[in-house]
Amino acid sequence: MNILVINAGSSSLKYQLIDMDNEALLAKGLVERIGFTGFDSDNFSQKVGDKKVSLHKELKNHKEAFELVIKELTDPEMGAIKDMSSIGAVGHRVLHGGADFTQSVLIADDVLKAIEDNIPLGPLHNPANLTGILACREIMPDVPMVAVFDTAFHQTMPRRAYLYGIDYKYYETLKIRRYGFHGTSHRFVSAEVAKMLGRNDLKMVICHLGNGSSMSAVVNGKCIDTSMGLTPLEGLLMGTRSGDLDPAVIGFVAEREGKSASEMITMLNKSSGFIGLSGGLSNDWRDIIAAAKAGDERGKRTAEVWSYRIRKYIGAYAAAMNGLDVVVFTAGIGENSSDARRLALEDTQWLGIELDEKRNAANETVISTDNSKVKVLVVPTNEELAIARDTLEIVSALK
């Protein structure tokens, strides 16, 4: 069965078409600037094997974007399939499932309602995800669709990990708690490791280090803690997000600079992290580490704070799990930067972690020494494939 995987943003739509008979990627594309007019650059791109299409097309809404996607996917020359009937199901990435979803679900009206109800928790993404689902439904009304939530994997966290130390009424009335994100990636990677090592009884720390970054503690395949919270702002230092900080900083700066609460949150989301701490140098790890290696103070301090926090989380999660078998690195930085991994694992020998410098430099899968008590792995994430697998499983059970 061919499964279309959709990740809809407020003005964008990312997609992959995957043949699930052999988990082969048939097509991959991106539509941008949905709802915009008067721009010059191309806003549609698609790759089918070696065939690449790039187009400029003004699109009023997500429905028009989907129509374009289907047209290009079925293009006789540059497309991947003959017609729409060869799409067996659609899997949609949805950011926030709140406490309503512990796993992926077949999309029906009650699911749409629940995604809508969770908009206050994911105000930027959930409306876009919903728009994407509704537009897709209009174009393919008879094709089964599945929602895969970024938060679902973390729903196994115990209360001690998800409750904040604030008045309990906020949990009861406003659902304020830690939810965690990147769940599809954490789940995919932890399952890959279990398969690779042939064991289901592992205590793992997963480090998903990309532009957005998060870590999770996974025991026997279940998440018991994760670094992101109510929103994806908590935890590690990221490209533009601050991660953990004393909430009093918000009031302190807001009062002195006359900023509103929402301006402060925007500052913490958009101009903090790498870009903020480096004094505007870059939000991209490659620039930060290159500057640090060249002795640039801005790059050095940013890399130092970034890697130190990861190390603290590894220690904290080892304590939370009462042990540690595996540390896994994934996503853009985790998969590609041996410098990042080396810095993050500095002074962790006491935990039983022994990094093999050569294996690490070569981006091998196992980067710990043969004697290391804790195995350190580099495992590429594949959220789209995880979404397609869930979709296949749910849709297959319908028959």
Near ligand AMP by CB under 6 A: residue from 75, 244, 284, 296: 284
Q: Determine the Cα–Cα distance for residues 328 and 334; give it in Å rounded to an integer.
A: 8
Min CB(212)–ligand AMP separation in Å: 6
- Nearest CA to 181 out of 155, 218, 212, 150 is that of 150
Near ligand AMP by CB under 6 A: residue from 303, 331, 377, 395: 331
Min CB(76)–ligand AMP separation in Å: 33
- The 93-132 contact track toward ligand AMP, x by CB under 6 A, reads ----------------------------------------
Q: Could you confirm whether 325 is annotated as catalytic?
A: no
Q: Determine the Cα–Cα distance for residues 126 and 124; give it in Å rounded to an integer.
A: 6
Near ligand AMP by CB under 6 A: residue from 211, 269, 271, 372: 211
Near ligand AMP by CB under 6 A: residue from 16, 129, 214, 336: 336
From the list 19, 100, 150, 390, the catalytic residue is: 150
Q: What is the DSSP letter of 26?
A: E
Q: Determine the Cα–Cα distance for residues 371 and 327; give it in Å rounded to an integer.
A: 15
- Is the separation of the CB atoms in 157 and 187 below 8 Å? no
Q: Determine the Cα–Cα distance for residues 214 and 208; give it in Å rounded to an integer.
A: 5
Q: Determine the Cα–Cα distance for residues 313 and 226; give it in Å rounded to an integer.
A: 9
Q: Determine the Cα–Cα distance for residues 378 and 37; give it in Å rounded to an integer.
A: 42
Min CB(335)–ligand AMP separation in Å: 8
For residue 181, CA distances in Å to 62, 188, 252, 316 come to 24, 13, 28, 19
Judged by CB under 6 A, the number of residues near ligand AMP is 11
Closer to ligand AMP at the Cβ: 84 or 290?
Answer: 290
Asked if 236 touches ligand AMP (CB under 6 A), the answer is: no
Give the residue numbers annotated as catalytic, written as ranges.
150
Where do contacts with ligand AMP occur on this chain (CB under 6 A)?
A: 210-211, 239, 284-286, 331-333, 336-337
